[in-house]
Amino acid sequence: MDCFYRADKARENENGSYGLGLAIAKSISENLGAELTASSAPNQNTTFSFRIKAIN
């Protein structure tokens, strides 16, 4: 798993979160053989997609 740390106090979130959500989602998707993607439009929005094959 990737290592996360805050080197600059200016990058802290107001709510005190550590920003680990995407790293956790990536780890889960890799363990399930799924695909996690993101697409972004500058200054507008970001869309995250999680695709997993259905088991019959």
pTM value is: 0.55
Those residues whose C-beta lies under 8 Å from the C-beta of residue 32, and which sit 6 or more positions away, are 52
For 1-56, how does the pLDDT look when each residue is reduced to its tens digit (9 = 90+)? 445 555 556 656 666 666 678 888 888 998 999 999 889 888 888 898 999 888 77
Average pLDDT of the residues of the chain: 77
* Beta carbons of 2 and 23 less than 8 angstroms apart: yes
What are the sequence ranges of the domains in the chain? Answer: 9-51
d(CA 24, CA 11): 20
